[in-house]
Chains A and B, each alone.
Chain A
Amino acid sequence: MEPIILLEDVSFSYEGASGRALDGVRLSITPGEFVGVIGPAGAGKTTLAHALSGVTPHVRRGDFYGAARVAGLDTVSSSVAELSKTVGCVFQDIESQFVTTMVEDEILFALENFSVPRDEIPSRVDRALNDLDIADLRLRSISTLSGGQKQKVALAAALALAPSVLVLDEATGELDPASSVQVFELLTQLQRERGATIIVIEQKIMLLCAYAERLLVMDQGRVVIDGSVRRALEQPDRLLALGVNCPRVTTLAARLREKGLYHGAPPVSLDEAEAMVREALA
């Protein structure tokens, strides 16, 4: 299948910065993939997200090398507005992302701006608010919301558009655990029902393990691991050296293996871990 995202040797350095925030990134993502991205602070994850949305190099300026194509558009020659028709983003710095002052307006604005048919708009606003469980905040002023509530509004606005590529940059960082799971469920739904391509930058490794099919680990502007989540978890020491931890269930598997009590693949969920222990005890 034609890749929906294709980065060919993309490098980027911020204006005035000495090093490269992206350093020769090659990446091919096919439509409908659910990709997790993790890596230490300063690895270039946000810069990668910006490169996909055109924020880099159009808004965040600097030297851009290589070529990036997203949904058939060259990110350097296309405008951010053009790109945003197919690429939805929720960025880490949420405060700077809101364009209106009231919760409902924020979602309405997104839908109206992307020429969603008028008669569909009210039901999509309702659905987005209900999906994120924030219907009671509908008429609230965004500035009075709690941190997590703000993140939910930004997520609701992005999900309401049902874009064919959705990039989340640590967009669940302030969500409570149940809401984080809910967001990953919604992303999976978007992927399954609409064939959307999902890219989530996330430090919560347990959620990536449970939902992402492919994991990219970034370090110093490069993609240093690219493969299935399970394959990545087979090298816990390498991950740890990259500042990435494994879920506790994987650590437990490693301990049991050291004791000769387990020989299978690392578990990624509680159910799998329970099965692993029961097998060792049997």
Chain B
Amino acid sequence: MILLENVSYAIESRELISGASLRIGQGEFAALAGENGAGKSTLLKLIMGLIKPTRGDILIQGASTRDRKVSALARTVGYLFQNPDRQLFGATIRQELSFGLDFLGVSKSDAESRVEETLGWLKLDPDRAPLSLSRGERQRVALASLFVRRPSLLLLDEPTTGLDYRECMQMMNTVARLNREDGVTVLMITHDMEIALDFAPRMLTLSGGRIIADGSTRELMRDEAMLKRASLIPAQMVALARRLGLAPGEADDADSLAEWVASSVKGGAQRAGHT
């Protein structure tokens, strides 16, 4: 689905991305993390074709981003900017969602039912102006306007900033459902290691323009030295499990840690009873 071969990107003489290679298959869900200024947004813009690599090549569904217009790519790729206000144009929420669906070749009745369905999920007054909403509400409208287009690839730049916990879970569950049921490929930038661990089986870490780690999120979450290089802090339960000497993956959420404590206590009591 996404293929990067030794991609570099420079502005003037500054290299913002250096020698990035990666392959993300159809239906994968990957998190992209790293310190402020690491180059995460730049990498996402390169994949979307908004900017072109200085060296190397990027293939999306087999076609190079050099040869394809962004507008062509936008038919199948949903891209969320780091600042949602960059993509809100409509006078009302309903308009915002309907915008461009005819251009995608969606029939009028299909468009209407998609918009209604998404409005039901959004739970906001469809006649309100997007720019009069609170930041979290604007973020959700921006995401909803991607969902109505039914993209096969979602490129999300910090989709949960500005959202409260409930909205964050609602939003992430929607993304997870699209990934699971419709096979939508997801590449999501996040600083939140709890979210990365809960939702993304795979994690890429970028630091100083280079990919310094690419692998299973559970395993990388244990690599505190690598995380530290990228200004990241491991998810709380993983850090606790490591401190308690558990093997990676043995228990890395609150429920399984509680189970582990309970069975250790029981085991300990039984052993004590035998002596």
Contact = CB atoms under 8 A, between A and B. Distances in A.
Contact of A170 (B36, B162, B237): B162
A40 B37 contact: no
Interface stretch (A5-13, A107-115, A122-130, A141-149): A141-149
A57 interface: no
Interface in A238-279: 240, 243-245, 247-249, 251-252, 255-256, 258-259, 261, 270, 273-274, 277-278
Given A146-B41, A174-B161, A41 B167 contact: yes
A252 B161 contact: no
A54 interface: no
Contacts of A69: none
A273 B167 contact: no
B87 interface: no
Interface stretch (B54-62, B111-119, B130-138): B130-138
Interface residues of B, number: 49
Contact of B135 (A41, A145, A248): A41
B36 A179 contact: yes
B146 interface: no
Nearest to B33: A176
Given A41-B134, A203-B163, A270-B239, A147 B254 contact: no
Interface residues of A, number: 53
Given A146-B36, A147-B83, A259-B262, A249 B137 contact: no
Interface string B213-237: 0000000000000001011110111
A281 B264 contact: yes
A265 B42 CA distance: 45
B191 A176 contact: yes
Given A147-B158, A255-B255, A176 B34 contact: yes
Contacts of A151: 36
Interface string B187-230: 00001011000000000000000000000000000000000101
Interface of A is mostly: helix
Contacts of A280: 261, 265
Contact of B167 (A40, A149, A176, A261): A40
A274 B135 contact: no
B265 A261 contact: yes
Nearest to A178: B231
Contacts of B166: 40, 240, 243
Contact of A93 (B135, B231, B257, B264): B135
Contacts of B268: 281
Contacts of A117: none
Contacts of A256: 258, 261
Interface in B129-171: 132-137, 140, 158, 161-168
Interface in A40-59: 40-43, 46
B271 interface: no
Nearest to A274: B243
Given A178-B231, A203-B165, A259-B258, A270 B36 contact: no
A248 B191 contact: no
B231 A177 contact: yes
A251 B164 CA distance: 18
A178 B232 contact: yes
Contact of A277 (B158, B193, B240): B240
Contacts of A32: none
A181 interface: yes
Contacts of A95: 83, 85
B64 to A, nearest CB: 26
Contact of B191 (A17, A43, A175): A175
Nearest to A148: B36
A143 B132 CA distance: 24
B35 interface: yes
A173 interface: yes
B244 interface: yes
A274 B244 CA distance: 8
Interface of B: 34-37, 41, 82-83, 85, 132-137, 140, 158, 161-168, 191, 193-194, 228, 230-233, 235-237, 239-240, 243-244, 253-255, 257-258, 261-262, 264-265, 268
20 contacts: A14-B132, A38-B164, A41-B163, A42-B136, A147-B36, A147-B41, A147-B158, A149-B36, A174-B158, A174-B191, A176-B35, A177-B232, A205-B165, A243-B164, A251-B254, A252-B237, A255-B254, A255-B257, A255-B258, A274-B244
